[in-house]
Amino acid sequence: MDLFDPQAAPAEWLVIATGVAALAVTVPRRIWLLARNAVTIAHEGGHALVAVVSGRRLEAVRLHSDTSGLTVTRGRPTGLGMVLTAAAGYPAAPLLGLGGAALLGAGRVTVLLWLATALLLALLVMVRNAYGVLTVLLTGALFVLVSWLGAPEVRAAFAYAVVWFLLIGGVRPAFELQAKRRRGGAPDSDADQLSRLTHVPAGVWLAFFHTVSLCCLIGGGRWLLGF
């Protein structure tokens, strides 16, 4: 099968079932604490990609077992590049989900799987801690395994599950950050850093994160369900 050949849309029940599975992974706290690693990969990858595009020098990416992460860049400590880099983390997973939903809506399952693999490989080059390397390697290996060995139905189910998870799971982190800030925690969160950089209240940046994630969920969900 050619990489760019469109694949027929899966049965509606499979699309709905993968969405329910993604929701079941996102809501229970114990399962979420493990699954959140995938969202952290997207989050830090968003910081890293925008840093490079905006002209900053990417030094390192670290992913930790508590599902936190850190992206280290070099450049001016203020300015548009720094603002864009700091703002890119929380919207990254929802926007990736939205892009994935557009590809799946066009039947490009294989393109999505290989594009995701390429992005993971690019991120792996910059990861600088053992846990992060292991997490990205295992995630990338899963994509390669499904892409090479999976039947078309298996590839479609996997791709839909991944995109649903990015869309649904991408909503929760901003609410978690909001709860932490309400308790007086996370003083150096992305929202607080952006507040110091732009003199716009952190609550406004939180509202921005919420708006992006919820709009992506609605738009991506419509594409996946064929509305």
Q: How far apart are CA 63 and CA 21, in angstroms?
A: 25
Mean pLDDT of all residues in 174-202: 93
Q: How confident is the model at residue 3 (pLDDT cuts 50, 70, 90)?
A: low
- Residue 17: helix, strand or coil by DSSP? helix
Q: Got the DSSP string for 183-222?
A: TT--TTSHHHHHHHHH---HHHHHHHHHHHHHHHHHHHHH
Q: Which of 147, 160, 142, 47 lies closest to 93 in space, CA to CA?
A: 47
Does the pLDDT of residue 29 top 80, yes or no?
yes
Q: Average pLDDT in the 81-104 region? A: 97
Q: Which residue has the tokens 């992506």?
A: 216
Q: Which of 72, 85, 75, 189 is nearest to 128 (CA)?
A: 72
What is residue 4's predicted lDDT score, i.e. its pLDDT? 66
**Which distant-in-sequence residues (6+ apart) come within 8 Å of 72 by Cβ?**
58, 59, 60, 61, 62
pLDDT at 105: 93
Torsion angle (degrees, nearest 10) of CA 218, 118, 22, 68: -100
**What mean pLDDT do residues 7-17 have?**
89
Residue 184's pLDDT band, with cuts at 50, 70 and 90, is: confident
Query: What is the pLDDT confidence band of residue 185, given thresholds at 50, 70 and 90?
Result: confident
Give the start-to-end residue ranges of the domains of the chain: 12-225
Mean pLDDT of the chain: 94
Q: Residues 45-67: pLDDT tens digits?
A: 999 999 999 999 999 999 999 99
Contact between 14 and 156 (Cβ < 8 Å) = yes
Angle (CA) 28-104-11 rounded to 5° is 75
104-162 pLDDT, tens digit each = 999 999 999 999 999 999 999 999 999 999 999 999 999 999 999 888 899 999 999 99
